[in-house]
Every structure is written in C-alpha cells, then in structure tokens.
Structure 1
Amino acid sequence: MGMNRRSLLGRIAAVGAAGVAGSALTLPGTAQAATWKKRLTGADLDTNSRWQVAGTDLGIPYVLENGSIGYLFGDTFNTPWPEGPPLPNDWRSPVMLRSNVHPGAPGGVVFDSAARVAGNGRAPEVMHNGHNGIGIDGLWEVTVIPNDGISFPETGRQLISYMSIENWNSAGPAGPHWKSRYAGLAYSDNGNDFVRTPLKWWNSPDNKDPFQMWTMQRDGDWVYVFSVRSGRQDGPMMLRRVRWDRLFYPESYEGWGWNGSNWGWGRPCTPILTGRFGEPSVRRLADGTWVMAYLNCATGCIVTRTASGPDRVWTAEKIQVTSWQEPGLYGGFIHPWSSRNANDLHLLVSKWTRTPDGRSTAYHVSQFVGTV
C-alpha cells in the first residue's frame, strides 16, 4: 500500500487465470473509473452519535429479507481508530447498520437503523466473538470478521459467512499474512441475532486453504460461492454452488472444475482466477450482468470484472479506485442496487492509513461511484 505512483505505474501485475478466465495482464492505469462520493463512518458522523459506530471497516452491503440493505462492518470502535484513545474503546464485530435509501440518491448511502437496536443507541455485535480469548467453540479466537451476507424471503432467514481469525501475523514464505482458523456460517430468523452454526471449513496449517473468504450470490435455486485464501495472499479463486436450501449441508456443495477437456459442475474445484486477492465481492445486477470486485494486492487498486454468468468468462480487470487516489484502501464491496447505467456502480471502500510508527490516521468506510 505504501508504493508511490511512479513505482506503481512501472509495474505490470500478471494476474494468471485458469480455465474459463484465460489469462490477463493488468497494467495499472493512469486514471481511475470511480470517484469518491462520501464518507460513511467516522467519529464525527451520525453513525457515532446515534450508534457509537465511529472507526470501522468493510461495510459489506447485502439485500435483507424485507428488501432493504444491511451493511456488515468488521472490527468496530467508538473511537476514530482501533488503538483509541481512549481505551477501552468498545471493540465489536460484526456490527450491522441498515438502510432503505438508494445509494444513487443525491445524498448517497444514509443509514436509518442498526441491528439489535430499537431507535438510537449503541449497536452491539450481532454474533458471538471471542475477542482475543476462547471462542464459542473452545478455540482461541482473535476476532470474527464477516465475509458476506445473504437472505431468503421464502423463510425470512439471513445468513452471514464469516472468518474466525487465529492471528493477524502468520509468518510464511511470502511474508506475514493474517490467518483464519476456519470459515463458518451464522444465521438469523429475526434479522438481529445471528447464531454461529457448528459448520466449519477449516483452514490448512500453512494458511493456504482457498475456501476462507467467501462472497455469495443467489441466482434462482442456486447460491454461487466465490472464495479465496485468508490474508490477502497469492493464490486461487474458487467457485462452488449449492441449492439455497442446502447451505448447511457441506456435501451438497458442487465444485466448478476442469477435467482436462472441459469445465463442469460436481467436480473438484479448479481455480477460475489466480492472483493476490483481497476480500472478494460478487453481485448479479438486475440486467443479469455479474460483477466481481476486489483489492488487487499487487497493484494496490480496487478493480472489477464482469461476466454473463458465474461460470462464464470474466473480463480483464478494470481499475475503479487507485492507491494514490485513496491511500490505505481495501475492501471494495459492490452495492446490490448497482446497475450498468453510467455512474451507477456503487462501491463501499475501506481505508486504514498509519504513520511509520504504526499510529492510525484514518480508519473508516467511504462510498465510491463508478461504471461497470
């Protein structure tokens, strides 16, 4: 992230892609596609005065069972950044704010409520978190970070995919990366209280399991799950699908794979893309276009790709937000009410900047607007 513009422009990031994706060379461009619209969280905003949500990250938007939008935040504090001051600073994760305001409105995203809160008041975390202690399953847990959310109007149920973080600094041949212990699913039947299920997709001891950071999108009877390794490290992106009413049955997940002559479902997963991915976000737009966004950790840019379907060819990367436009960025979550119309791609982008000695200078989420 600390790369300057000259060195960034001088690099070519080869994002190899297997199978349907072919291969792509990404040359960081000189102009971004998305523009900053507004900051959404911070100690000086109503997210703090109303719900004590000041410094926070992620802000993953998904459609709730009632048609409005929930926004999932990871490590959240009532101070501008994680280290305070003061301490303690009310560390929570995940936290959910909600809105029924279209992100394309003149004022952008406007939050109107918080999960587990009647009116204004402190927004608590929506599921159990071990917080640098023994978690709900008897294992050490640093924190719980949401990956994505999905809801089912047929039942009124919501699901959150999440990571149980084992540590933030797991050494490896490519340098330190955070390590999840496992990926899991939590559910809610009231939209407020999420119950962590016993289901666990365990990470490998070497932190190389590619099924740790999930993004989920439903299309008809199927939920398509795209996933990558934890820690924003080099590796594959995998694609699975499962019937919406079988998400709690791991044996029902089908892999999208290459058998040497063709691609098909019901096979061991074959990488659909390879690269150094941040948290992925995939959404199906109203016209049927599929859009993928993530931080390209090799270039420091938030990028998007499009496809006509989840198992179709994905385009080359399109740069949306650059690291010199917004230093210390990560995330890049697609608002599900985005469209292919001009300047109607809405991204929730996290920012965490620090001084050389580690003191935070910014830790918040902003809305950016671009074009698919």
Structure 2
Amino acid sequence: MQLSRRSLLTGLGLGAAAAAIGVSVSEAPEARAAGVRHLGRLTGPEQTGHLGAAWTDLCIPVDTNRGMLFIGGDTFDGAKLFEGSWRSPIGLRSSSTDLYNLRIDSAVGGNHARGLVHEPHHNGMTALPSDVFRVGDTLYMHLMRGRLHDTHHTDFWRSDDQGETWHYLCQWPGDMLGGAFQQKTYAVADDGYAYVLSSRFNRSVDSQLLLHRVPLERLGEPAAYEPWGWNGHQWGWGVAATSVGPVQPWGEIQWRAMNGAYALSWFDTRKSSGYTVKAARLALPTSNIFDAMGSATPLVSHFPRGGAQQKNPYGGFIVPGSTFDNFHVIVSQWTSDTEYWVHQYAASI
C-alpha cells in the first residue's frame, strides 16, 4: 500500500490527518473574494517538474540580490506525491524579483533540485525549513529536524553564495522552552538586531508564542538570544520569555520588518477561523500582538472567512519586496497525492 507523507511521518493517512483538524479533502472549491488576488501557482508538474520538484511545499522566499530563492519542504520527483526521491529542504529560483513576474526557472542543483543539507529521511525523519532570510550578502536558514510535528531539535545554517552551499552554525533542543522555540522566524531590523518569534511546531498542541532578539553579528550563537518577558510589573528584555500571543496551536508563522513597521503572517489552525492564513501589521517588534491579531486581514481560508478560498491552505510566507498595500504571500496546498504545490496571492493589510 502506498503511504502518504503524513502516514509515513506521523502514522496518519491523508484523510485521517485532515479529519484530525476537521478538514474535508473534497470540499470548498477555489473562489476569490474581493481584495485578495490569486496570482497563480508557482510549483507543480508543469511549472517545476522539469527541475525534479513536481511535488513540493512551503517555498519560503528570500531575495538573494540576483533573483528570488524559494526554500521548499518535503519534495518528490515521481509521477505523484510520495514517489521518487525524497528531499528537504530544496532551493528553487526565479531570475525575476518582480512580484508580478515570479516564475521558477532554475534550481539549486542544476536541472534537478538537490537537498540542501544532509538528511537521509530514514524512518520518517525530515528537515523542514521554518525561515530563510538575508543579512547583507549572507543567507540564513532555520530547520526543524525530526518527524512531522515531533521535532527532535532545530538547527541553523548560513550560505555565502546565494544558497548554493550551506554551512552549519548551531542547534537547539526540541524541548527548549516547553517546545516553543522550535518554529522560528526572524525579522531583520535596522537597529542591529533580528527579532525572533517562535512557537511549537505541532498544530494539535497549544503553544506559547515567544519573542527574542539577537544581534545580527551573533545570529549563530544560542547564548546571544535575549528573551522578552513580563516580570509581574512590566515587560522587558532579559526577563524570562513570556507568551506575546495567545496560547493556542500555531501553524506556520512569518515575521518581517517592513516599511518602518512589522508584518506578521500565520496559519490559524483553529476550525473557528476557517483554517485561515492571516496577516497583521505592528508598529514595533514589542507591540501588542493580541491587539494586532484582532484586526488581522484574512488572506486565504479553507472555509470562507473574508479572504480568498482554497482547499487545505497552509504556510503564508511573505514575499520580499512586499508592502502593506501590495502584500504578497506564498501559500501551500495539499489535498491529494496529485495536488501538493504552492500558490501566490496578493492583498492589502
């Protein structure tokens, strides 16, 4: 019997995994609401099959100064999902950085996207990217290692050649801070710091949303990550990390400095939200995320919740070059073993 990725990684088949979060794999035909534009699909057999990446997801984008690099997750090159070679993470490239002309035309590895780091994928183990970003001419990539939603540890890598080769920097245990330091995303500010939001990577388990900061010249030093917390009287740096958002299951998160403010996107995995990718604007990295979430813009929903409608969306990674008025995100879709790919959407938030 052919096993699905979730069956292989977590012991659940596609239907069971979808049922576990209350999602039907056959409902909700795609529709688009006013204000959120579907710009097309970036991956799939027609778009990226010739690069050995017919089936891939996530595709976190970063501007490399010579085009856009998309860091993909679990990737297969067979006739359908779960067939052929299994690689993660991979790198796909668009020679254009024009937000309305992104077309993947090459891969790290030439004409067949190769795995960027060593990961044999034995017994369901994988290496899933949670973020990739650039500081100067250097790219950084954060990976979650283990079975899906069972992170053993996370590790951090750098590239000085636009993503062609990656060098190991450091790692963190998967149970650090109650697991809420597994899924990390970095907002690179102009004050010499990166501001790091993190959560547990398990959509069925409540997690804190934590904030740290780290000097840009010390990104690969775990001891340099300084928490933001509440000491009983006031918030401050160097205080034990306190949740800056609701304690709830968190899907994919991304956090970016943008136009003098900060953009947060996340996959809201609660059924009451319609399983929706959302985005919010914050003035400062320490602004009240609870308040910002209350006024968030719904971008792409499984059920209609004011944004575009797409079966089984997840992700929601912000495309470099976006503004709050022209906000582009990469949204994954996994509905069957022949429908596993990423889309591009644009909106205002």
Q: 2:122 aligns with which of 132, 136, 140?
A: 132
Q: Which amino acid aligns with 2:41?
A: R
Matched residue, 2:142: 161
Shift of 1:164: 0.5
Deviations 1:203-248 (A, max 9, x none): 229x941000111121121011111101223211111110011112
Contact 2:135/2:188, CA 8 A, preserved across alignment: no
Q: Distance in 2 between matches of 1:257 and 1:100?
A: 42
Q: Distance in 1 between matches of 2:218 and 2:324?
A: 31
Q: 2:286 aligns with which of 302, 311, 333?
A: 311
> Map of 1:201-220 to 2, 5 A cutoff?
201-204=172-175, 208-220=178-190
Question: 1:242 and 2:235 equivalent?
Answer: no
Q: 1:363 aligns with which of 332, 340, 348?
A: 340
Give the SS at the match of 2:76: coil
Question: 1:39 and 2:37 equivalent?
Answer: no
Q: Which amino acid aligns with 2:63?
A: V
**Which structure 2 residue ranges, 5 or more long, are not aligned?**
1-17, 25-31, 304-308
Q: Distance in 1 between matches of 2:175 and 2:344?
A: 35
Matched residue, 2:75: 76
Q: 1:345 aligns with which of 308, 327, 331?
A: 327
Contact 1:59/1:71, CA 8 A, preserved across alignment: yes
Shift of 1:276: 1.9
Q: Distance in 1 between matches of 2:328 and 2:186?
A: 18
Matched residue, 1:281: 254
Shift of 1:115: 2.0
Question: 1:152 and 2:135 equivalent?
Answer: yes
Q: How many residues align?
A: 308
Q: Distance in 1 between matches of 2:200 and 2:38?
A: 29
Contact 1:56/1:81, CA 8 A, preserved across alignment: no
> Map of 1:3-152 to 2, 5 A cutoff?
3=22, 33-45=35-47, 47-49=48-50, 51-64=51-64, 66=65, 68-79=67-78, 81-84=80-83, 89-105=84-100, 108-117=101-110, 121-132=111-122, 142-152=125-135
Give the SS at the match of 2:285: coil
Higher helix proportion (structure 1 or 2): 2
Shift of 1:157: 2.6
Question: 1:328 and 2:318 equivalent?
Answer: no
Q: Which amino acid aligns with 1:71?
A: F
The TM-score with structure 2 as length reference comes to 0.82
Q: Distance in 1 between matches of 2:312 and 2:324?
A: 28
Q: Distance in 2 between matches of 1:209 and 1:217?
A: 21
Contact 2:68/2:95, CA 8 A, preserved across alignment: yes
Q: Distance in 2 between matches of 1:33 and 1:292?
A: 18
Contact 1:301/1:320, CA 8 A, preserved across alignment: yes
Aligned identity (percent) is 29
Distance 1:273 1:80, change over 3 A: farther
Shift of 1:35: 2.8
Distance 1:67 1:288, change over 3 A: farther
Question: 1:229 and 2:213 equivalent?
Answer: no
The TM-score with structure 1 as length reference comes to 0.77
Contact 2:81/2:338, CA 8 A, preserved across alignment: no
Q: Distance in 1 between matches of 2:250 and 2:66?
A: 30
Q: Which amino acid aligns with 2:39?
A: K
